[in-house]
Amino acid sequence: MLKAVILIGGPQKGTRFRPLSFEVPKPLFPVAGVPMIQHHIEACAQVPGMQEILLIGFYQPDEPLTRFLEAAQQEFHLPIRYLQEFAPLGTGGGLYHFRDQILAGGPEAFFVLNADVCSDFPLSAMLDAHRHQPHPFLLLGTTVLHYVEKPSTFVSDIINCGIYLFSPEALKPLGDVFQRNQQDGQLEDCSGLWPGAGTIRLEQDVFSALAGQGQIYVHLTDGIWSQIKSAGSALYASRLYLSQYQITHPERLAKHTPGGPRIRGNVYIHPTAKVAPSAVLGPNVSIGEGVTVGEGVRLRESIVLHGATLQEHTCVLHSIVGWGSTVGRWARVEGTPNDPNPNDPRAHMDSESLFKDGKLLPAITILGCRVRIPAEVLILNSIVLPHKELSRSFTNQIIL
């Protein structure tokens, strides 16, 4: 039997994802039409022998998360449970803290997936590699192209994808780190149990030491992969997943039909959305539940979230339109893409910063929830926080 663990973090993380993470936990943000972690769950559910999926994080188990878990269990016919950390425990601390739940039933191995990655998740290939030559720690890796001038040591072009397959004995090194943290903490705090002992960083505290001992093994993939650290990377991940739908979920892609909108490239339209026949959509467009798209609208490289309204002849490019927002007639909402080099198959999305030298860098435009953009204005390379009603155009600004 097999299990899977998805590390979803918590509200103190994902600050680069604001203002989008103000309204919904980042793991539930829609990417290519479905919550971000649904892509992970779909991949895990397809692995033969998968018995249970565990989510570990320190979000409060609120209504959106609970509702998502209930729906996912019904759809995938698997037990899917959320285990809430008592405090942020790092990428490895939650695994060690909930080790009894992970190992219950005696799994042969368990997958560990970071929630903020986009991938085609070659889990079955990783399992085959593990069974052919068992190792406690198997990491998914991909190659990147980078330049280091006059390196003093070997510089690998392989990076960690944040997707792992662990044997049960992999938890022992995490226990060693916990004990070491406990001893170090007691030297500073003689009151007894040190609360920081439970914080374990897989990459720094575990993998670095084991890699030096030759105990870390990598399964290379040439499939899609990207991090989802910011709104800009979510838009790029949506493009990757929409492209992948041609193979995995062709039914999710909109098709051009007589009397319907013009579809260019890969587009997702929720069944409840109302899209005027003269609208032109794509490529890389995702339209959420209950969205209204008026006559003559042009949408490209954008995500439009639940309940938003794009009035007649608006133009939205390289942007994310928040929940319940309204863009007025003939308005233009536009951002600047920051995509990897499309001619380099090994290029990947950087975790871009919003600021440099105190100035907002050109990036995609983000409208928070329930923002109102009046008719005939331009919003360019800006971030509009929730519940704002604008009266004029803005360029390269954060509108508080």
Mean pLDDT of the region 9-19: 72
What per-residue confidence (pLDDT) applies to 159?
A: 87
Helix H, strand E, coil C: the string for 34-61 is EEHHHHHHHHHHCCCCEEEEEEEECCCC
Mean predicted confidence (pLDDT) in 57-70: 91
pLDDT confidence band for 191 (50 / 70 / 90): very low
What's the pLDDT tens digit per position in 310-345?
999 999 999 999 999 999 999 999 998 877 655 555
Q: Work out the pLDDT band at 113, boundaries 50, 70, 90.
A: very high
| pLDDT recorded at residue 10 | 86
pLDDT class for 360, splitting at 50, 70, 90?
A: low
DSSP state, 362?
P
Span 200-217, pLDDT tens digits:
888 888 888 787 777 889
Q: Cα–Cα distance between 258 and 79 in angstroms, integer? A: 43
Each as own residue / partner, the long-range contacts of residues 81-85 (CB below 8 Å, 24 or more positions apart, any chain) are: 81/52, 81/53, 81/54, 81/55, 82/54, 82/55, 82/56, 82/57, 83/54, 83/55, 83/56, 84/57, 84/58, 84/59, 84/60, 85/10, 85/56, 85/57, 85/58
pLDDT more than 90, % of the chain: 61
- Top-confidence residue, 95 or 156: 95
Where residue 377 falls among pLDDT bands split at 50, 70, 90?
Answer: very high
What is the rounded average pLDDT of the residues 141-160? 66
- Which percentage of the chain shows pLDDT scores above 70? 87
Residue 301 CA neighbour count, 13 Å, CB half: 17
Of residues 46 and 182, the one with the higher pLDDT is 46
Phi-psi region of 240 (alpha: psi -120 to 50; beta: other; left: phi over 0): alpha
pLDDT tens per residue across span 277-313: 999 999 999 999 999 999 999 999 999 999 999 999 9
